[in-house]
Structure 1
């Protein structure tokens, strides 16, 4: 069983996230998962956290590449647990900044289309040491996934 909860926790206070996650995951059937995140009105930008009974596992960032101006715009659609943490010193800020810097450096690849520019961006970020979980087949779709521990804010690291 998979439960999808998009644009729900955006309305909550940041402090309510962990309790909401625990409540949702406690009600899961064995092997179940929750996909909690947010997206823009047209689904062009999205991000989500995959949760299971053990807690948050991964963060995925996704964009419709033909409309992506810069990876920094993904920060507008971070899940509630991260949106207020996109500040210097926080891991999510470092990831978004690394993507944005690599996007800027990959500008010459734009000649070949946004997909090629994105592939170069993600390859560069991965080569710099970011543990990107998925493979180029997912990157071509405008997605990247990292382990939650890579971007977890300090207030949730006890989970």
Structure 2
């Protein structure tokens, strides 16, 4: 099992380098990231099981440590000795989280440099949820590159945005080589139409939901497929979603199948919706 790390106090300016990044608003709620976590456990479970050091990072967990606590519980259903390090740039939040530390769960002061306390240690997962929304779009690629460089060879970076209680969520999955996929996920009972997810696009895409951009075309086609699947609403919103995604997959590179669609998800290749000039 990976070594357990002790909470790291805020470094003094005279003795340590300042963490990279800026503090987020810190708002969070229990169970907010459940959709992302379930997807991670399913999509990245094999890599977690074969990892020699199954450590994951909850980057920018916020004013309360709930998301780190929950991530550990969900990953341990896949790998019993998985460990999670919650990383926060605000030292006050690290101190507030310290009482929740236990075997396999620790908290560290830091930012995009992703401190893990042991030289050469690389996480098999970095999850950064609702972190980059405050940054400029032009800075996203550099942050992604920095975080990807910290990953283990078979590691995964998952970066995205959700609403306050986790009903709507969109995230990008990236390997060490670059972005791979984009996942759109929703609590189907609260979804009016697929375009409702547009406001939760991650920073790399949210300003590109305009005519001429691929993500705008994708959401337009998804809306048309949703309208075409209206008769399936008689059998429930889940059946309507499955029918709409099945129709969408005829023209878009959907990489998952009905088992994930039933969860209110659809995942497409990054290249299909990437911003122009990316």
**Correspondence for 2:258:** 136
Counterpart secondary structure, 1:131: coil
Query: Relative contact order (alpha carbons < 8 A, sep ≥ 6): 1 or 2 greater?
Result: 1
The alpha carbon displacement at 1:69 in A equals 0.6
More helix by share: 1
Matches within 5 A, 1:70-149: 70-127=193-250, 129-149=251-271
The yes-or-no answer on 1:32 pairing with 2:158 is no
Q: How many Å separate the matches in 2 of 1:20 and 1:38?
A: 15
- Structure 2 counterpart of 1:150: 272
Out of 40, 43, 51, the position equivalent to 2:174 is 51
CA distance in 1, matches of 2:175, 2:135: 21
| TM-fit CA distance, 1:75 | 0.6
TM-score of the pair, normalised by structure 2 = 0.55
Any stretches of 5+ residues in structure 2 without a counterpart?
1-123
Partner Cα separation in structure 2 for residue 94 and residue 6 of structure 1:
25
Kindly provide the CA deviation profile for residues 120-149 of structure 1, in whole angstroms up to 9, marking residues without a partner as x. Answer: 11011112x111100100001011111111
Q: 1:61 aligns with which of 176, 184, 192?
A: 184
Q: Distance in 2 between matches of 1:74 and 1:91?
A: 15
Q: TM-score, normalised by structure 1?
A: 0.95
Instruction: After TM superposition, give the deviation of residue 29 of structure 1 in Å.
Output: 1.7
Aligned to 2:42: none
CA distance in 2, matches of 1:37, 1:84: 14
Larger gyration radius, structure 1 or structure 2: 2
Q: 1:21 aligns with which of 144, 150, 164?
A: 144
**Deviating runs (4+, > 3 A) in structure 1?**
none
Q: 3-state SS of the aligned residue for 1:87? A: coil
CA shift, 1:155, in A, is 3.3
Structure 2 SS opposite 1:154: coil
